[in-house]
């Protein structure tokens, strides 16, 4: 067991995707996982982020006021449901992780292979929104977060997704500026290729208008 400020924490709990787990994930460790996870939460070793979802608090943050980033927390929740390789941060949340939306948002958007109802968070006024997509077909890269690495749509994929559904995630006022900033980072041949393969050429043309470039 890993020792966190006097509270023993099974090492298996620290190895979950993005340090996020559900009571069922601790069923092989504890005979009665729910009260044990509640005890660890009371000790400050776990953080209850949503109903039925817990995040292992980084050791250096135990005993302090700590809040995981919204996008990383959403990725962790989605990864516990679908697996780390089948949940991708997308849309405005990907834009946040790419650094082109500085404002903290109240909705996190994650692409998943099967639909799931939104999950409200308990530690803030925010919601995780799941979007059913063919995640294997999306262009993605791995980005490090304080909770660990997570799959995030690439700048090219994010530009197309934002232009196609600018209101998804309730941050549409920031979307044109975010798209313009990301567009200048993109490999434009790759962007054209993705738009053609995914039948999102109209979205690309909208993005080009926002970026102030000619097709």
Percent of the chain scoring above 90 in pLDDT:
84
Predicted structure pTM score: 0.93
Say how far apart CA 37 and CA 26 lie, in whole Å.
8
Final residue belonging to a domain, choices 61, 78, 98: 61
Q: Are residue 74 and residue 48 in the same domain, yes or no? A: no
Q: Which of 41, 61, 81 lies at the terminal end of a domain, its last residue?
A: 61
**pLDDT at 2 > cutoff 50:** no
Q: What pLDDT score does 161 carry?
A: 98
CB 107 within 8 A of CB 119: no
Number of domains composing the chain: 2
Average pLDDT, the chain: 93
Domain end position, chosen among 10, 27, 61: 61
Across residues 63-83, what is the average pLDDT? 95
- What are the pLDDT digits (tens) for 121-135? 999 999 999 999 999
Residues 79, 53: one domain?
no
Distances (CA, A) of 6 to 9, 65, 196: 9, 18, 56
Where in the sequence is the domain holding 174, given as residue range(s)? 70-211
Residue 111 CB partners (closer than 8 Å, separation 6+): 87, 88, 89, 90, 131, 132, 133, 135, 138, 153
């Amino acid at each position: 067991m890993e020792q966190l400020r006097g509270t023993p924490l099974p090492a298996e709990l620290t190895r979950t995707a993005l340090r996020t787990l559900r009571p069922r994930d601790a069923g092989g460790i504890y005979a009665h996982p729910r009260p044990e996870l509640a005890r660890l939460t009371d000790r400050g070793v776990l953080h209850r982020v949503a109903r039925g979802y817990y995040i292992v608090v980084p050791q250096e943050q135990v005993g302090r006021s700590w809040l995981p980033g919204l996008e990383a927390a959403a990725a962790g929740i989605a990864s516990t449901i679908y697996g780390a390789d089948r949940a991708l941060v997308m849309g405005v949340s990907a834009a946040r992780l790419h650094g082109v939306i500085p404002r903290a948002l109240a909705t996190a958007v994650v692409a998943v292979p099967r639909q799931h109802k939104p999950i409200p968070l308990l530690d803030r006024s925010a919601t995780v929104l799941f979007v059913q997509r063919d995640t294997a077909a999306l262009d993605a890269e791995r980005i490090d977060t304080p909770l660990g690495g997570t799959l995030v749509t690439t700048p090219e994929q994010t530009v197309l997704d934002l232009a196609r559904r600018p209101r998804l995630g309730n941050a549409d006022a920031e979307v044109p500026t975010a798209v313009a900033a990301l567009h200048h980072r993109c490999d434009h041949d790759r962007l054209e290729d993705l738009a053609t393969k995914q039948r999102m050429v109209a979205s690309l043309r909208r993005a080009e208008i926002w970026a102030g470039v000619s097709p």
